[in-house]
Amino acid sequence: MLSTFIKEKELDIYLYNSGKNFKSYELFGSHFVERSGVRGSEFVLWAPNAKKVEIVGDFNKWIGENHQMIFHESTGIWYLFIPNFNEYELYKYSIYTSTNQVILKSDPFAFFSEIKPNTASITYEIDGYKWNDKKWLSRNRKKNHYKEPMNIYEVNLNSWKFSDDNNYLSYIELAKDLVSYVKNNGYTHVEIMPVMEHPFDGSWGYQVTGYYSITSRYGRPKEFMYLIDEFHKNNIGVILDWVPCHFCNDEHGIRMFDGTKLYEHVDKNISDNEIWGTTNFDYAKNQVKSFLISNAMFFFDKFHIDGLRVDAVAFMLYQGYTTEKSEVNINAVEFLKLMNSEIFSKYPSALMIAEESSAWPNVTKPIHDGGLGFNFKWNMGWMNDMLKYIEMDFDMRKNNHKAITFSIMYAFTENFILPLSHDEVVHGKKSLLDKMPGDYWQKFAGLRMFYGYMYAYPGKKLLFMGGEIGQFIEWNYEREIDWFLKEHEMHSKINLFVSELNSLYKKEKSFSINDDTYKGFEWIDYSNNEQSIVSFIRKGNKDNHIIVISNFTPKVYKKFELGVPTLGMYEEIMNSDYSKYGGSNFSENQNIRTIIKSNHGRNQSIIIDVAPLSTMYLKYKGRKKTND
């Protein structure tokens, strides 16, 4: 049967070894097929340096002498067809190395795995799910993401919410609870932290052992498909966190897979990732390119995802990124370009998001223009500046005003997402609410003001779970969000604020239609450091625009004068200080008529009251007269 298989798959094998097979999951792993009229499972493995490979599992009492794989030396492939092999059978590869060691390995291409702490692979039929998201996929293909609102809810399935028996929610339960929650709170997308199989909850999913295996913690792969299907039926896009930088060191994973450094670099100084205690991929190897790009394609092909957030891109780009001896990893650069090129060739509307923290240029520019080919990048500079600033005491802010304004200098050099992610609410950094200075009321007011500023600022939005209810403590992967806080007035009110802010952000095109260009943004006053107030305009098409005023101190300002671009009427459409959000309701700026008075380089002005620690949005209504 080996010769028949090799003949059938000759091109696929050649492409895999050439770094050009981007559906490798159809070649390798366990697949149910029919051979000579007998149905069974075909096992295919790349382990070119192994002396012998046996398949072991419950089916043979973990003794593999009767299930030895056949080796095809010129391709490095091992093969075995086992007749009458059932779905949901446990198995591993027993690999005899060139040094006569015997190691048990999970299948790198397994679609399903045992629940931790067990580590066996499980045979699984990945095809056959009946999708119901045709309308979503059709609409999504027509979207111009750069011109559309995008507010992302980042979630860790492990700790979002527990079941009544204090366990994980299943994919089926999440399809009910999480989908409705994300929808009711007004988000456009959900970003799910890694759900590829991983042994340790404390890695948050970022130390992967099974790249093609959706974690069994919450159910089966088709149940995860159902979860994505439900998101799509409710008009919510799904982004997965993905980790092509490094992999878990656990014995059953792909490290030293056949007794040699198969997926990693032969040089220990390059392969060993001392920061995370993991192993780095070697992007110079053709088989690694095929393995990883196929993996990215797998989630688009089989799970209908809308995008990938690619983790640790800076670490990939710079060999030894965190050391003084860092140098550009040319192989990683070429890998990322190839990956993005292939994904966009098949999925033009995909979201490919780089978590990239260096100053590498043109991350989101097309490859033909010298870019890496992503279409979005996390704005780590904005995030770092703003989080440092909001932790400052109020009287210190006037001396650090540049932290609010500097990022506009590069805001349109890339297509940015403004991330308030899980990384910023762990390891002693404090929750977003607890970062705020001041008393109890001021903390909530400051957080609402900050959210209002963020949603109006150029860039798509991302907020980690718990931020929407003003969680006081840091995120802990071992416990669920403090849902009981919603029973307390200030927490329920900030949740209302976030949900209504999300809805307003989606409704008002001025916040998104020119989000990728200076045409959509104009400062009114960026230099008011004495009062720690900034004001700017978000511009839509024609005369449509919204004025944004953010007061970063607890001081109030009555009859505050502000130059505006156009004569006419402005309507306050949002103020983070409304009493329904927990604010003081200090200002009453419902309908504001311009006056002929020069301010901030403009011939007309408005006079408003500015509430403490507040952000307000004023929408231009034209030159209509009011009834007052």
595/606 Cα distance (integer angstroms): 6
Give the pLDDT confidence of 140-179 residue by residue, as tens digits: 988 899 999 999 999 999 999 999 898 999 999 999 999 9
Strands (E), 406-497: 416-420, 460-464
- pLDDT, average across residues 347-353: 98
pLDDT per position as a tens digit, 558-571: 999 999 999 999 99
Please tell me the CATH code under which domain 518-622 is placed.
Answer: 2.60.40.1180
- Where are the chain's structural domains? 2-122, 518-622
pTM listed for this prediction: 0.95
Interatomic CA distance for residues 609 and 33, integer angstroms:
72
Beta bridge partners of 353: 309, 376
In whole angstroms, what is the distance from residue 102 CA to residue 56 CA? 12
Arithmetic mean of pLDDT, 245-251:
97
Interval 468-480: pLDDT, tens: 999 999 999 999 9
Mean pLDDT over residues 432-442, rounded?
Answer: 98
Whether 306 and 350 have beta carbons less than 8 Å apart is answered as: yes
- pLDDT class of 626 with cuts at 50, 70, 90: very low
3-state class of 496 per DSSP?
helix
Which is it for the CA torsion 389, 581, 418, 155, positive or negative? positive
Closest Cα partner for 560 from 551, 569, 573? 551
Q: Are strands 196-197 and 210-214 parallel, antiparallel or unpaired?
A: antiparallel
Q: Report residue 627's pLDDT band, with 50, 70 and 90 as the boundaries.
A: very low
Helix (H) or strand (E) holding 152, with range, is strand 151-155
Determine the Cα–Cα distance for residues 101 and 89; give it in Å rounded to an integer.
Answer: 26
Round to whole Å and give the CA distance between 581 and 441: 11
Same fold, 2-122 and 518-622: yes
Is there a contact between 515 and 584 (Cβ–Cβ < 8 Å)? no
Look at strands 77-83 and 591-593 and give their pairing: unpaired
CA distances to 390, 433, 522, 555, 558 from 447, rounded to whole Å, are 9, 6, 24, 16, 22
In DSSP terms, which residues pair with 537 in a beta bridge?
A: 522, 547
pLDDT digits (tens, 9 = 90+) for 105-116: 999 999 999 999
pLDDT, one tens digit per residue, over 356-394 is 998 899 999 999 999 999 999 999 999 999 999 999 999
Catalytic positions: 311, 355
Tell me how far apart the alpha carbons of residues 501 and 250 are, in angstroms, rounded to a whole number.
44
pLDDT above 90 as % of the chain: 93
For residues 242 and 194, is the Cβ–Cβ distance under 8 A?
A: yes
Contact 602, 563 (CB under 8 A): yes
Residue 322 has pLDDT above 60, yes or no: no
Closest alpha carbon to 30 in 74, 77, 82, 105: 82
- CA dist 406 → 435, 466, 536 (Å): 21, 28, 14
Q: What burial letters (b/e) apply to 61-80, b meaning 16+ CB within 10 Å? A: eeebeebebebbeebbbbbb
Question: Position of tokens 């309908």?
Answer: 591
Query: Nearest 5°: phi and psi at 59?
Result: -65, -25
pLDDT digits (tens, 9 = 90+) for 21-37: 999 999 999 999 999 99
Q: What is the radius of gyration, based on Cα positions, of the chain?
A: 27
Measured CA to CA, the distance from residue 153 to residue 188 in angstroms comes to: 8
Beta strand pairing call for 416-420 and 460-464: parallel
Asked if residue 183 lies in contact with residue 222, where contact means CB atoms within 8 angstroms, the answer is no
pLDDT higher than threshold 70 for residue 323 = no
> What pLDDT is stored for residue 1 in this prediction?
80
Which helix (H) or strand (E) covers residue 442, if one does? Answer: helix 440-456
Angle at CA of residue 212, ends 209 and 217, nearest 5°? 65
Q: Is the pLDDT of residue 77 over 60?
A: yes
Q: What is the pLDDT of residue 280?
A: 96
pLDDT in tens, 188-198: 999 999 999 99
Q: Are 557 and 528 in contact (CB under 8 A)?
A: no
pLDDT above 70: residue 321: no
pLDDT-derived band at 249 (thresholds 50, 70, 90) equals very high
- Helix residue ranges, H only, 95-153: 134-141
Strands 351-354, 376-378: pairing is parallel
Q: What confidence tier does 3 reach under pLDDT thresholds 50, 70, 90?
A: confident
CATH number for domain 2-122, candidates 2.60.40.10, 1.10.10.10, 2.30.110.10, 3.30.1280.10: 2.60.40.10
Give pLDDT, residue 628.
36
On the question of pLDDT at 531 being above 50, the answer is yes
Mean pLDDT estimate for the chain: 96
Region 97-111 average pLDDT: 97
